[in-house]
Amino acid sequence: PLQGGNLSSPTSLLLLGFSGAYKAQVTLCLGFLLIYLVTLLGNMLVMTLIWLDTRLHSPMYYFLGHLSFLDICYSSVTLPKILKDSFSPQKTISFVGCITQIYFFLWFGGSECVLLAAMAYDRYLAICHPLHYAALMSKKICLCLVAVSWLSGSFSSLIQALLTVHLHFCVSKVINHLFCEIPFLLDVSCSTNALLKTVSYALAGIIAVGSFLLTLVSYIHILWAVLQKGVGGPKVFATCTSHLTVVALFFGTGAVAYLVPQSHSSKEVDKILALLYAIVTPMLNPIIYSLRNSEVRGAIRRALRRRWSQIPQG
């Protein structure tokens, strides 16, 4: 039955999503909707605070504003389609739509990897080279780093999407996943996938592993400066804790999902892992920066005080 209907056309695919009864689908839909709303509102709040509060007009928060925008884009690639499919008996997606989803998902994910590395580099300069920080992290340098993050993610995803276009499907066009991803397309494709696998792993190594290593090197230098030179101390760790937590969530969930061998007997577990890095992490990022960053909390309090003072009293 899964091969019938619209799936007789080679231009469409079927996403199985989560199996379960109608009540379970309703519960999942409400949960996904809540996650999406929190993601949108939280990241928009961070972007608005950075824009309005002049105390947050620094390189660190310039990068954070772009990170919040990336998180909105990243979750918007998958969540609206998942919400639409929650009540649909046929969770179909066109092949062009599937390739488009892969392109934007890889673009925003790759750009976020590079941007997190740029934020770690910013913390390294601020802590280890404070006297030269203004010159080394000027507005022009910040703009260049953000441009590199967007362009590198776009270039990597474009190559992978163009290679994915040439996949062929002999019999099955059923993807046992929530959204389109290259590993799950390869599972049902009958094409020779050696080139796509090689290129995908190579680009993932350059973008994801390279960004993680740059982040790790930056924090090793920061830790060395704190331990050997006594720079900053608790104040240094306070400014880095939020970023370290976001890095651990983003790279940690991605590593578990992609590096741990997939269990063919438990595809539901693979889908839950995909939700962690694709949906949950963008929701948690603004919460982490709001709760663990004193300057963001201060900006929220100042914004609330200004809003309260504008309300007529008595």
76-120: pLDDT as tens digits: 999 998 888 877 777 788 888 989 999 999 999 999 999 999 999
**Helix (H) or strand (E) segment spanning residue 295:** helix 294-309
Query: In the predicted model, what is the mean pLDDT of residues 280-306?
Result: 78
pLDDT of residue 5: 39
Query: In the predicted model, what is the mean pLDDT of residues 4-23?
Result: 61
Q: What percent of the chain has pLDDT over 90?
A: 29
| Complete DSSP assignment for 36-71 | HHHHHHHHHHHHHHHHH-GGG-SHHHHHHHHHHHHH
Q: Look-up: residue for tokens 């809003």?
A: 307
Name the more confident of 20 and 12: 12
Query: pLDDT, tens digit, for every residue of 236-273?
Result: 666 788 888 889 888 888 888 777 665 544 667 777 77
With a CB cutoff of 8 Å and minimum separation 6, the contacts of 137 are 59, 122, 125, 126
Which tokens belong to 257? Answer: 């999902």
Is the per-residue pLDDT at 165 higher than 60? Answer: yes
Is the per-residue pLDDT at 1 higher than 50? Answer: no
Mean pLDDT of the chain: 82
**Helix (H) or strand (E) segment spanning residue 6:** none
* Rounded Cα distance, 111 and 147, in Å: 9
Is the per-residue pLDDT at 294 higher than 90? Answer: no
pLDDT of residue 70: 94
Banded model confidence at residue 22, pLDDT cuts 50, 70, 90: low
Which of 3.40.50.1000, 1.20.59.20, 1.20.1070.10, 3.30.70.120 is the CATH number of 12-292? 1.20.1070.10
pLDDT of residue 7: 35
Is the per-residue pLDDT at 195 higher than 90? Answer: no
| Complete DSSP assignment for 75-98 | HHHHHHHHHHHTT-SS-EEEHHHH
pLDDT of residue 286: 86
Is the per-residue pLDDT at 314 higher than 60? Answer: no
pLDDT of residue 267: 67
* Rounded Cα distance, 240 and 83, in Å: 35
Name the more confident of 277 and 148: 148
Q: Which of 2-16, 163-177, 185-199, 241-255 has the lowest mean pLDDT?
A: 2-16
pLDDT of residue 260: 67
Which among 38, 24, 15, 22 has a CA at the least distance from the CA of 279?
A: 38
Is the per-residue pLDDT at 231 higher than 80? Answer: no
* Rounded Cα distance, 198 and 191, in Å: 14
Query: In the predicted model, what is the mean pLDDT of residues 205-226?
Result: 90
Q: So where are the chain's domains?
A: 12-292
* Rounded Cα distance, 71 and 278, in Å: 9
Q: Which of 60-69, 132-141, 162-171, 296-305 has the lowest mean pLDDT?
A: 296-305
Query: pLDDT, tens digit, for every residue of 124-145?
Result: 998 888 888 989 999 999 999 9
